[in-house]
Chains A and B, each alone.
Chain A
Amino acid sequence: MSTRIYVPNDSAALALGAERVVRALRAEATARGLEIEIVRNGSRGLFWLEPMIEVATEQGRIAYGPVAAEDVAGLLDAGLLIGQAGHRLHLGRPEEMDYLKKQERLTFARCGIIDPLSLADYEAYDGYRGLRRAVTMTPEAIVEEVTQSGLRGRGGAGFPTGIKWKTVLGAQATQKYIVCNADEGDSGTFADRMIMEGDPFLLIEGMTIAGMAVGASRGFIYVRSEYPDAFRRLQDAIVAANRAGFLGPDILRSGRAFNLEARMGAGAYICGEETSLLESLEGKRGMVRAKPPLPALRGLFGQPTVINNVLSLAAVPTILDKGAAFYQNYGMGRSRGTMPLQLAGNVKFGGLVEKAFGITLREAIYDFGGGTASGRPLRAVQVGGPLGAYFPDALLDTPLDYEAMAAAKGMLGHGGIVVFDDSVDMSLQARFAMEFCAIESCGKCTPCRIGSTRGVEVIDRIRDGIEPEKNKVLLADLCDTMLDGSLCALGGLTPFPVQSAVRHFPEDFNRPSAKAAAE
């Protein structure tokens, strides 16, 4: 009987040598006359253990990691195929690992467990139960269920998903669209990528339900070009779903149609902004549109459009399957359900942590992340991507929910948490925020286009000790202008990392210039 071994083909696992592990496993198995079946799963999101391979045994799946190609022969000698303990890479059953046991995985319930392209696997683990229920419901009832769940946009803005859908449902048009924003450009985030690579049918199911809910027969997934593996896997999954009748002209014999296409972005961060993304999908420069009109009324090709982030759409199948009350039961305050947090940067145990809203930054970084990877003291944490604020140690007890983060003058964004140790120069990070904005600005509005470049110059003068007090006033003024006067979040939020760095780490903006020090 052949033994089943799971080796992830998540891009992070590939970047850490998973393909070489597969080659070594095949070569050793052949040489030893062992029968093995290698399944390529997604990642469970414990990245310090990748490539984490798992063997199916009578006691369940047994994990080993991080496995290098060079370890394979020794692992086989030590009883890999029966999940024997004793080898230094033996981790035991993944479900028993603290990092996973402490999580509340709803969206990521299957990721890393199943073969991403196996519909049989997907259905065996509760897949398509949400859609099967949705096709028996009226559009109004589906929208109501999503509204009641309290789901808010996981892309960062936190807008109630049900209300967005209701607007599109109420709009009159012959063609409506569902657009998935999979332009996950924030540094420190990889949850969308993990879903697209590790559980693509979940996203497809969520979009199909959205189509049923608002009466849209066409959908697009806009995937950033930096994610070629995710793009290819989605394309394969769409073909498989069409073949099985989960997509196409007659979804589950309901008489309703939903056709889905994956489209590739072209390396512009701004296209993660929803109106810019729509322009890009239409084949234009990714220039931000003024709102109103809202995309819900005049979106893609001028038609009513639901545009949601990957994680928002991926939460929907659970809500339809288990009911709004089940989902709503997780979370705190006005932040309901679970949030897939991403621990990144200088953190010991980086990975995907899906928890109900409400755990604090400190719990995330220390209880899950184990502190800094370098072992040096933690100094700053950036939450919510390049437009998110930097938090000092004193603010780490802030709960990770939309309102609490906003109250601390930060934002949860897409849930990325990037940890920095004490070697960080915060004036350099502030400078980078402005520089990044200058590189990625679409150029439509002046505060963002010009303000970001001026921002780099002003911070350079402060760093060089040129009239620092005067220039700090100027920087604050410039930040206000960008915050109030920009058309979209890029220019409007770039002041967050800049001002938080100035506010919480003033000592990094007070150093004498090299010139002054020499004199």
Chain B
Amino acid sequence: MSGIAAARSPSQSAGNPWNEDAARGIVQEHRNLDGAMLPILHALNDHFGYVDAGAVPIIADELNLSRAEVHGVISFYHDFRKEPAGRHVVKVCRAEACQSMDGRKLEEHIRQRLKTEFGATSPDHVYTLDAVYCLGLCACSPAIMVDGELHARVSPARFDQIMADVAGGKR
């Protein structure tokens, strides 16, 4: 597991197995920042690939908040995963600029190709498909991000090529 994690960039999904001591260490490292909550959650999300339910009481304890408040923050933001993502994370922009360049057709192609719905992980845990609302590449739509890497002007054929490269370890 750690070998796989090491081979991936920090922006990717993978992470270290859940560990309470490591989590507390991360929380303590950031707790003195003003408005420490989001930096803490990002650090946990990056380290473990998601924010384990076990982190809630630790954060609550360290920041002197109720568990409900911590849970409320985690559940508010799209970025914080409640469970580990698949081996590859595909983020597809579904906003207007991409729509204007046949983005909806690309969305449909990707859903079928990955056999995964938006916001879900494939049963074999290989792909997680996320919707994003704008990657800021609107002059070269449609745009996607695969394992932290951006791709612009993506056609269905181009998408298949990108995924073939990803599966073949070329990226």
A-side interface residues toward B, CB under 8 Å? 11-12, 14-16, 47-48, 50, 184-190, 193, 225-228, 263-269, 280-286, 301, 342-347, 350-351, 373, 382, 386, 416, 418-421, 424, 429, 432, 436, 439-440, 442
- 8 Å CB contact of A228 from B39, B78, B148: B148
On whether the beta carbons of B138 and A189 are closer than 8 Å, the reply is yes
Considering only residues 122-165 of chain B, those with a C-beta below 8 Å from chain A are 132-141, 143, 148, 150-153
Query: In the complex, what residues of A have CB within 8 A of residue B5's CB?
Result: none
Interface status of B35 (Cβ within 8 A of chain A): yes
| Min CB gap A374→B, angstroms | 8
Give the 3 A-B residue pairs with the shortest CB-CB distance, closest first.
A350-B139, A283-B37, A187-B95
Interface status of B20 (Cβ within 8 A of chain A): no
- 8 Å CB contact of B134 from A186, A268, A301: A186
User: Count of A-B contacts with CB under 8 A?
Assistant: 146
Q: Given A345-B97, A418-B96 in contact, is the A15-B137 Cβ separation under 8 Å?
A: yes
Interface status of B111 (Cβ within 8 A of chain A): no
On whether the beta carbons of B73 and A373 are closer than 8 Å, the reply is no
Considering only residues 26-41 of chain B, those with a C-beta below 8 Å from chain A are 34-39, 41
On whether the beta carbons of A267 and B136 are closer than 8 Å, the reply is no
Query: In the complex, what residues of B have CB within 8 A of residue A267's CB?
Result: 77-79, 132
On whether the beta carbons of A264 and B78 are closer than 8 Å, the reply is no
A439 to B130, CA, bound (A): 13
Q: Given A228-B148, A267-B77 in contact, is the A346-B137 Cβ separation under 8 Å?
A: no
Query: In the complex, what residues of B have CB within 8 A of residue A345's CB?
Result: 96-97, 100-101, 138, 141
The interface centre, meaning the residue of B79, B98, B143, B151 with most chain A CB atoms within 10 A of its CB, is: B79
Q: Given A187-B96, A193-B136, A345-B96 in contact, is the A266-B41 Cβ separation under 8 Å?
A: yes
Interface status of B66 (Cβ within 8 A of chain A): no
A190 to B93, CA, bound (A): 14
On whether the beta carbons of A266 and B79 are closer than 8 Å, the reply is yes
On whether the beta carbons of B38 and A190 are closer than 8 Å, the reply is no
Interface status of B16 (Cβ within 8 A of chain A): no
Query: In the complex, what residues of A have CB within 8 A of residue B148's CB?
Result: 228
Interface status of B113 (Cβ within 8 A of chain A): no
- 8 Å CB contact of B76 from A226, A268, A373: A268
Interface CB pairs A-B, < 8 A, 26: A15-B137, A15-B140, A15-B143, A15-B152, A16-B140, A47-B140, A187-B93, A187-B98, A190-B136, A228-B11, A267-B77, A267-B132, A281-B35, A282-B35, A283-B35, A283-B38, A285-B72, A285-B76, A345-B97, A346-B100, A350-B139, A373-B101, A382-B96, A420-B100, A439-B133, A440-B133
A188 to B148, CA, bound (A): 21
On whether the beta carbons of B141 and A11 are closer than 8 Å, the reply is no
On whether the beta carbons of A226 and B140 are closer than 8 Å, the reply is no
